[in-house]
Amino acid sequence: MRTEKKISQTKYLLILYVIFFQFFISSCKDSNRETIAVGLSTSPITLDPRYATDAISYRITRLLYESLVDFDEEFRVKPQLADWQKISPTHYRFSLRKNLKEFHNGSPLTSEDVRATYQSVLNPEEISPHKGSIDMIKSIHAVDPNTIDFKLFYADPLFPGRLVIGILPKELISKKHNFSRQPIGNGPMKIISFKNDKHLKLKRLDDNKIIEFITLKDPIVRVLKLLRGEIDLIRGNLPPEIVSWLAEKDSIKVKKKKGSTFTYLGFNMEDPLTGNYYIRSAIAHAIDRKSIIRHVMGKSARQAEALLPPEHWAGNSDLVSLDYNPDKSRRLLAQAGYNDSSPLRIIYKISNDPFRLRLATIIQSQLKSVGIEVEIRSYDWGTFYGDIKEGRFQMYSLSWVGLKIPDIFYYIFHSKSIPPHGANRGRLNDYNVDLILELAKFEASLDKQALYYKDLQKYLLDILPYIPLWYEDNILVSKSDIKGYKLNTDGNFDSLRYVTKNN
Amino acid sequence: MYLNYIIKRLFSAVFVLFSILTLVFFLIHIVPGDPIEVMLGETARTTDREALRHALGLDLPIIQQWLIYLHSFFHFDLGTSLHSKQQVSQLLLEHALPTAILSLASLFVAILISVPLGILSAVHKDSILDKFSMMTAVLGVSIPNFVMGPLLILTFSLWLGWFPVSGNEGVTSLILPALTLGTALAAILSRMIRSSMLEVLQEDYIRSAYARGLTKFNVLVFHALRNAVLPIVTILGMQLGTLLAGAVITETIFAWPGIGQLIIESIQKRDYPVIQGCVILISFTYVLVNLVTDFICLSLDPRIKLDS
């Protein structure tokens, strides 16, 4: 009796076991994914180009919408939807190209849509972060369906370069359509779904290929997903040692291209210590940037001497590099009244990003070797950023991403741009800087403007309100079956318009 | 008697929730960082910043903001997200279900591992099996989730290819995060079960049970484990907090779209209404589970006196 019972129990267990494994194995099979999946470190905050300020939102909205103008590799303005004509210093006429693509809802793109888009940005009720960049616009007039006039309050030679906001359909703007989650533009891709703010699916209109953007905060998980083929490519935001490790794998391709993301050390010019030129200069000569780039950043960066890279039309390629010279640094410290018996003590604030923290400890160690005691204080982004804006720091490091128009100098270094009026976080108040910036701002010729900015960059390197560190490379890590992704200096995702996957 | 006890517990639960609500409200407003900065970026004009601050009511005195929040809260309105403009209650609903599934699955994993391991260790005290299982328990407690998660992914996704690395696409996506969270809890529980079982196994009624000729299995499960499980139920309730805290990290590693991910992102964006909503939901769950735990204990052991 007992044996029979045992046999029947074992039989049932075996059946259960088989059913479980059937289910398990069937659910474990990889689906044959036809899509191209991109791993992102953060989700886009919005898909409405009128409100996009973060890099990911900007890069994705470029795929969904087109703007009047765009930039080339030297950051010069070039036509996209329209060509322009300067009728007077305060009057620009834009003519839309013929045979423009329709909006994704089927309506044609006309000058009325351009007018409605820019007027909604300027509308006081809309509160767009980009309003400040186009508030010189006095009026917008649609001359005919293909021509639009912009009249300005004052002359702005850089004006065409400011019209980079993607164009939205007028009809939907008036209906207060939620472009942030249901974007409708005339770009090369249209939205399919945006699930949980983590999984965005777009369809490429040329070949109906689905492009997925999957947010994966943890870089290790992003890499493991790539190795297992759950995603096809990752653009940046990976620790350099992981990139080097991936480069050795047969199934993975790593591409690099010079980028324009500028990393710097900033000083509080109102602080008695960092306001002292000798101290700033001593710090500058004590940092061995070449070694950091070679050994820590895996050669994925190039040394920077100014905010704009040398290939920028207003960049200065003749700047003399800040050399690594510990002896000079010690001499400068002595001139400022510090030596080994009375060392200089500085507080260095950074965000809590692990890689930035690692870089900070290396800089701390390099400064220690010349007798500067650095205390690192690392905070979450909100706290750190709040402190920097309020001027509660001596030294900090940050990066500028996506700089294109050179009047950013006004915003960062003019004495009228101290937060909250701008990003002069170091509270620089220098007569010469202000003068050059004013002259450049009202100079009608772009070539002459470029000369002013070149001079300014040389002067800034002399007075050192920032220590330029490096420009980070744009990096693509992809499965080897991904073809045709061309990296660019801007770091955008434009190559997803034509990238292919060999299944 | 029961009713009095329930009312007393409910009152204290409401008091706890109200305190948390108030504390969190003031704490997140004190912490540096400005939602307007995150929303508009650095390039926005001062007038636009102020206009947005006014539109969102963030320019009001903090006490007034708190009273407005309380008023809405008691009208079952948790507000709208500053960023996505979605209702907070809707966001919480969307994200609570995945977290609940993950927590229950982890609990299931923890019980599945810890009960046999704890019983075996107690029955075979000081044997190799006991030492091995307790060593495993120590390891389980010591390895943090952010190490355990990638290790499991490496083994089961990359080398064996059984499960997806991350995501929320069916049962297979649930197994690794549930294992990550569950093993840490299993480690604590198995040690608890072992010590509780060891104590119970010394009792006279166990000897009597054996004397009555009951099988070892019957004695262990129906006599020993039933009595040993009491302190474990209490611990389980208390561990829910750990489980939810662990879920914050585990959800980030496995891109699991739960409350953990939502709270991290809203803190980074300083999305006050969403942070408050998440914290209230977590504390409510915590208070509720502890309440339920007490009632379970009561029903398991009628000797527990209500007034004590």
pLDDT at A80 over 50: yes
Please give the pLDDT value at position A8.
53
**A306 and A440 co-located in one domain:** yes
**A198 has a chain B CB within 8 A of its CB:** yes
Q: Among A144, A174, A204, where does a domain finish?
A: A174
A196 contacts chain B (CB < 8 A): yes
Domain carrying residue B157: 91-300
Per the prediction, chain A carries an average pLDDT of 88
B166/B296 same-domain check: yes
Question: Residue B164: which of A53, A230, A423 has the nearest Cβ?
Answer: A230
Q: Is B57 part of a structural domain of the chain?
A: yes
A2-16 mean pLDDT: 51
Identify which has the larger pLDDT, A33 or A480: A480
Residue where a domain stops, chosen among A131, A151, A174: A174
| Total domains, chain B | 2
Last residue of a domain, one of B25, B47, B73: B73
Residue A67 forms contact with B (CB below 8 Å): no
Q: Is B196 inside any structural domain?
A: yes
Residues in chain A: 503
Q: What confidence score (pLDDT) does residue A379 get?
A: 87
pLDDT in tens, A164-187: 999 999 999 999 898 988 999 999
Query: Cβ–Cβ of B157/A224 closer than 8 Å?
Result: yes
Domain termination site, one of B16, B42, B73: B73
Residues of chain B in contact with residue A224, where contact means CB-CB under 8 angstroms, are 150, 153-154, 157-158, 165
**Pairing mode, strands A395-400 and A344-351:** parallel
B52 touches chain A (CB under 8 A): yes
Sequence-distant (≥ 6) Cβ neighbours of residue A284 within 8 angstroms: A322, A329, A464, A467
Task: For residue A448, tell me if it sits in a domain.
Answer: yes
Same domain, A487 and A373: no
- Specify the pLDDT at position B308: 45
What pLDDT score does A18 carry?
52
Q: Distance between CA A366 and CA A360 in Å, rounded?
A: 10
CA separation for the pair A362, A351 (Å, rounded): 15
Question: Looking at residue A470, what is its pLDDT?
Answer: 95
B94 touches chain A (CB under 8 A): yes
Q: Give the residue ranges of DSSP H helices in A325-371.
A: 326-335, 354-368
Starting from the edge strand earliest in sequence, which strands make up the sheet with A82-88, in order? A82-88, A91-96, A147-152, A137-144
Residue in chain B nearest A221 by alpha carbon: B253
Q: How far is CA B233 from CA A187, A395, B217, B228, in A?
A: 57, 52, 21, 10
Q: Minimum mean pLDDT among A257-271, A440-454, B260-274: which range?
A: B260-274
Are B40 and B110 found together in one domain? Answer: no
Whole-number average pLDDT of chain B: 82
CATH number at residue A268: 3.10.105.10
Give per-residue pLDDT as tens, B80-134.
887 777 788 888 888 888 888 888 888 888 888 888 888 888 888 888 888 888 8
Compute the average pLDDT of residues A339-360.
Answer: 90
- Band the pLDDT of A25: cuts 50, 70, 90: very low
- Rounded to whole angstroms, what are the CA distances from B120 to A457, B98, B221, B308? 73, 33, 11, 34
Cβ atoms < 10 Å from Cβ of A276: 19
Measured between CB atoms, does B84 come within 8 Å of chain A? yes
| In a shared domain, residues A72 and A98 | yes
How much of chain B, in percent, has pLDDT values that exceed 70? 94
Residues in B touching A181 (Cβ below 8 Å): 84
Residue A20 within any structural domain of the chain: yes
Query: Number of A:B CB contacts under 8 A?
Result: 117
Same domain for B170 and B66?
no
Q: Do A196 and B94 touch (CB under 8 A)?
A: yes
Element of type H or E holding A12: helix A2-28
Can you tell me whether residue A138 is helix, strand or coil? strand
- Smallest Cβ–Cβ distance between B268 and the set A30, A53, A382 belongs to A382
pLDDT digit string (tens) for B176-185?
999 888 888 8
Question: What average pLDDT score do residues A75-93 get?
Answer: 93
Looking at per-residue pLDDT, the higher value among B233 and A486 belongs to A486
Closest residue in B to A199 (Cα) is B167
Please check the confidence at residue A10 and state whether its pLDDT lies above 70: no
A228, A380, A383 ranked by CB distance to B158: nearest? A228
What are the chain A neighbours of B154 within 8 Å (beta carbons)? 224
- pLDDT score recorded for residue A86: 93
Work out the average pLDDT over B51-66: 84
Residues B40 and B166 in one domain: no
Would you place residue A503 in the very low, low, confident or very high pLDDT band (cuts 50, 70, 90)?
low
List the 373-412 stretch of A: residues with Cβ below 8 A of B: 380-383, 385-387, 389, 411
Partner residue facing A381 (CB), from B44, B252, B268: B268
Smallest Cβ–Cβ distance between B37 and the set A124, A218, A385 belongs to A385
Are A449 and A398 contained in the same domain? yes
Q: Indicate yes or no: CB of B83 within 8 angstroms of CB of A130.
A: no
User: Stretch A135-160: mean pLDDT, rounded?
Assistant: 92
Please identify, among A143, A174, A205, the residue that sits at the C-terminal boundary of a domain.
Answer: A174
pLDDT digits (tens, 9 = 90+) for B129-175: 888 888 888 888 888 888 888 889 889 888 888 888 887 777 888 88
Extract the tokens encoding B53. 């601050």
**pLDDT, tens only, B199-220:** 888 888 888 888 888 888 888 8
Q: Tell whether A482 and A451 lie within a shared domain.
A: no
A382 and A434 fall within a common domain: yes
Q: Are residues B44 and B157 in the same domain?
A: no
- pLDDT at position A29 over 50: no
Q: Answer yes or no: do A423 and B42 touch at CB < 8 A.
A: yes
More confident residue, A309 or B203: A309
Q: What confidence category does residue A28 fall into, taking pLDDT thresholds of 50, 70 and 90? A: very low
User: Does the CB of B268 have a partner CB in chain A at under 8 Å?
Assistant: yes
**Residue A270 to residues A36, A409, A425, B150: CA-CA distances in angstroms?**
51, 19, 10, 46
Q: Which of residues 127-156 of A touch B (CB under 8 A)?
A: 127-133, 135
Average pLDDT for residues A394-417, to the nearest whole number? 90
Residue A181 within a domain: no
Q: How many CA atoms lie within 13 A of A354 on its CB side?
A: 8
Residues in A 419-438 with any Cβ partner in B closer than 8 A: 420-421, 423
Residues B10, B16: Cα–Cα separation, whole Å: 10
Q: Does the pLDDT value for residue A300 go beyond 80? A: yes
Residues A145 and A193 in one domain: no
Residue B38 lies in a domain: yes
Structurally, how many domains does chain A consist of?
Answer: 3
Tell me, yes or no, if B59 comes closer than 8 A to chain A by beta carbon.
no
Kindly state whether residues B203 and B233 are assigned to the same domain.
Answer: yes
Cis peptide before A354 (omega within 30 of 0): no
In a domain, A293, yes or no: yes
In this complex, is the C-beta atom of A29 within 8 Å of any C-beta atom belonging to chain B?
Answer: no
Which 208-227 residues of chain B touch chain A by CB within 8 A?
none
For residue B59, being part of any structural domain is answered with yes
Q: State which residue of chain A sits closest to B173, comparing Cα positions.
A: A28
- Find the CB nearest B157 among A127, A132, A228: A228
Mutation target for B interface from A57, A128, A194, A196: give the one with most B CBs within 10 A: A196
B257 lies within 8 A of chain A by CB: yes
Checking if the pLDDT of A104 tops 70, the result is yes
- Residue A51, in any domain of the structure: no
Mean pLDDT of B262-270: 83
| Residue A19: per-residue pLDDT | 55
User: What pLDDT is stored for residue A1 in this prediction?
Assistant: 46
- Considering the domain architecture, whether residues B182 and B215 belong to the same structural domain is answered as yes
The answer as to whether B184 is a domain residue is yes
List CB contacts (< 8 A) between A230 and chain B: 164-167
Both B38 and B107 in one domain: the answer is no
The verdict on B158 and B56 lying in the same domain is no
CB nearest B45 (choices: A27, A132, A196): A132
Banded pLDDT at B190 (limits 50, 70, 90)? confident
Band (pLDDT 50/70/90 cuts) for residue A152 is very high
Check whether residue B169 and residue B293 sit in a common domain.
yes
Residue A45 has what pLDDT? 83
Q: Are B165 and A221 in contact (CB < 8 Å)?
A: yes
Task: Please indicate if any CB of chain B lies within 8 Å of the CB of A279.
Answer: no
Asked whether residue B83 is domain-assigned, the answer is: no
Chain centroid to Cα A343, Å, comes to 38
Å between B162 CA and nearest CA of chain A: 6
Residues B150 and B122 in one domain: yes
Q: Is the pLDDT of residue B307 over 90?
A: no
For residue A496, give its domain range: 2-44+186-257+474-501
Do A250 and A264 have their domain in common?
Answer: no
Q: Is the predicted pLDDT of residue A499 greater than 80, yes or no?
A: yes
The reply to whether residue B254 touches residue A411, judged by beta carbons under 8 angstroms, is no
Q: What is the CATH number of the domain that holds A142?
A: 3.90.76.10
pLDDT of residue A231: 93
Beta bridge partners of A445: none
Which tens digit of pLDDT belongs to each residue from A181-193? Answer: 899 999 999 999 9
Name chain A contacts of B275, Cβ cutoff 8 Å. Answer: none
Give A29's contacts in chain B (Cβ within 8 Å).
Answer: none
Q: Is A26 on the interface with B (CB under 8 A)?
A: no
Point out the residue among B44, B165, B170 whose CB comes nearest to the CB of A225.
B165
Instruction: Provide the pLDDT confidence category of residue A16 given band limits of 50, 70 and 90.
Output: low
